[in-house]
Chain A
Amino acid sequence: MKKVFTRPRSLKDIPTHYCPGCTHGIVHRLVAEVIDELEIFDRTIGVAPVGCSVFAYNYFDCDMFQASHGRAPAVATGIKRVLPDRVVFTYQGDGDLAAIGTGEIVHAAARGEKFTVIFINNAIYAMTGGQMAPTTLLGQKTTTTPYGRDKEVNGYPVKIAEMLSVLDGTAYVARVSVHDPAHVVKAKKAIKRAFEVQLANLGFSIVEVLSACPTNWGLPPAKALKWLAENMIPYYPLGEYKKPAEVG
């Protein structure tokens, strides 16, 4: 019988710690599939900072770094500057990248650091118990916005893809979603392009992935995906915000 679906080589065959219905698993798989398809597994180095994905280093089978909260782009800068012929990626959540690590991500992008960022935007801090993130939508209830996020108190959600796309150092900026199979296929294409941009040495590449957090949103998995599509996508429009002519 012909095998048509198998575990990517780059992903270890162990159970993950993610909650049921969390889309981290999907994104991990997409990144691993891309690494396999591009045949870069042996020279890829990943960086997992603090947040739900802190244990990503246990799941990806390539060399990995664990970085402190928000600092993955600085760590990746150090790695890539020492080893320019390796493929380096960071895997960061929205609390990590859009709050405490804003300085690092903006300046790594501005310098045009030649690594790839996988940015998981689930509109909440998940690991620490569902607090408001910079990406939390207006009106969205979290443990620290029990009455809903109020622009007068908490300001507005941060649109990272749009923000980074205006920097000259960024070569590829895309926002994708993984709430249904069609979007998962598109997400993989974007992730692959981001890695190709790095392989072509064109500059900084980032893919923002709209993701579901059923546990902290207080929704069953299927409803969480629906909530994502209906609430997040209108505020965080999908698409390629920036791409070099050389790539697809």
Chain B
Amino acid sequence: MAKLLMKGNEAIGEGAVRAGCRYFFGYPITPQSELPHYLAKRLPEVGGLYLQSESETAAINMVYGAAGAGARVMTSSSGPGISLMQEGISYLAGAELPCVIVNMIRGGPGLGNIAPAQSDYFQATRGGGHGDYRVIVLAPASVQEIIDLMQVAFDLADCYRNPVMVAGDGILGQMMEPVELGEEKEIEIPPRPWAATGRMGGEKKLINSLYIVPEELEQHNLKLAKKYALISEREQRWEEYRLDGAKLVLVAFGTAARICKAVVDRCREEGLAVGLIRPITLWPFPQKAFEPVIEKTERFLVVEMSLGQMVEDVRLTVNGRRPVYFYGRCGGMLPVAADVVREVKKLYGGEGQ
């Protein structure tokens, strides 16, 4: 199979098309713009629709309409735009509509900048919008993984009738890497008996998130909670890297995890037993990855392109059984491998405790 050189943002578009996505509604924002550029060209080729909305708010509500009408549909944005979409994401979760939302995270808060960051972790994994809900969050770390995870994203969205977010950072969107696309397959979209497509002789369907009677809303919330528990049980994904005998385990996702792989290799060369856990699902957080490791290792170091957000999930998982440390850069700055190595050396063997 021939390899192609593709940009991360374009790979998201190609991955989505190959996963059967035929509708994209979006509003431009840096650093994800190559994705709508790509789909504006690509979707009409496969009989799909690219529509530029007047705002992120409109885009996510177009997604709501299209998803409720039974389509495989996607939108994308970055930080400030995702903030505007939160109202709609809450409604999508409430109405149990499948869709994929891409966030190529930039530095914040506010307008921040257009440099890569991971500081939307809380927003992505804690709901972000109003109400008691969860969104499945996938965090690829390479252009190839983007291609593979887009199919997973649409399948999970359908399987659980839930929004799925693909969270990358500006670097992942902008980097070019060789990818193997594989055979283009005919995608069969699972039947959607709940979709409101006009009665056409059948039962009335309603796409709704309003439950005015408290008892009914509680039942709806409990039903959603049950679904989230099932997702949490079944869908934790992660990658392990050189965990054998690791006395210090790094935890990082996305671009930060790539840097940490280099850190692990460098440390191992110097005889330091360091390994890496890379969460692929940010929600559900892959607690299962930690269980076999916690008793064997001495400490954890979480590395993020933020001031420390995922570190809270690691602490919840480790639950005091081992010390958890944090190193991060923010505002679009990257953790440099040499700096992380220095942090590792500071902690390795127990100093800095």
Contacts and interface: CB of A to CB of B under 8 A. Distances in A.
Interface stretch (B49-57, B114-122, B294-302): B49-57
A200 B69 CA distance: 21
Given A78-B61, A104-B54, A107-B54, A68 B91 contact: yes
B63 interface: yes
Contacts of B53: 74, 107
Interface in B190-234: 196-201, 204-210
Contacts of B66: 78-79, 81-82
B82 to A, nearest CB: 16
Contact of A68 (B87, B201, B204): B87
Interface string B42-71: 000000010101110111011111111111
A63 interface: yes
A71, A79, A80: which has the most chain B beta carbons within 10 Å? Answer: A79
A64 B64 CA distance: 13
Given A54-B210, A77-B65, A82-B69, A103 B57 contact: yes
A76 B257 CA distance: 41
Contact of A107 (B58, B71, B73): B58
A73 B169 CA distance: 32
A82 B23 contact: yes
Contacts of B69: 45, 78-79, 82-83
Nearest to A77: B62
Nearest to B196: A63
A65 B209 contact: no
Given A54-B210, A83-B69, A103-B54, A68 B197 contact: no
A77 B53 CA distance: 10
B207 A65 contact: yes
Nearest to B23: A82
**Helix, strand, loop or mixed for chain A's interface?**
helix
A172 interface: no
A159 to B, nearest CB: 21
Interface string A77-98: 1111111001100000000000
Interface residues of A, number: 33
Interface stretch (A36-44, A148-156, A227-235): A36-44
A107 B27 CA distance: 13
Given A45-B69, A104-B54, A64 B206 contact: yes
B71 A77 contact: no
B198 to A, nearest CB: 4
A12 to B, nearest CB: 9
B196 A65 contact: yes
A87 B95 CA distance: 22
B198 A78 contact: no
Contact of B49 (A41, A79, A81): A81
Nearest to B212: A55
Interface string A21-63: 0000000000000000000011111010000001001000111
A167 interface: no
Contacts of A80: 65
A63 B65 contact: no
B25 interface: yes
A140 interface: no
Given A44-B198, A68-B91, A74 B205 contact: no
Contacts of A54: 210
A44 B197 CA distance: 8
A54 B69 CA distance: 19
Contact of A75 (B54, B65, B206): B65
B88 interface: yes
A66 interface: yes
A74 B207 contact: no
Nearest to A41: B199
A117 B220 CA distance: 31
A79 B68 contact: yes
Interface of B: 23, 25, 49, 51, 53-55, 57-59, 61-71, 73, 87-88, 91, 95, 196-201, 204-210
Q: Which 3 A-B pairs have the closest CB atoms?
A: A78-B65, A74-B61, A78-B66
Given A74-B64, A75-B62, A78-B67, 7 more contacts: A42-B199, A45-B196, A45-B198, A66-B95, A74-B59, A75-B64, A77-B62
21 contacts: A42-B200, A43-B199, A44-B198, A45-B197, A62-B199, A63-B196, A63-B204, A65-B64, A65-B208, A68-B91, A75-B65, A78-B63, A78-B67, A78-B69, A79-B65, A79-B66, A81-B49, A86-B197, A104-B54, A107-B53, A107-B58
Interface of A: 41-45, 47, 54, 57, 61-68, 71, 74-83, 86-87, 103-104, 106-107
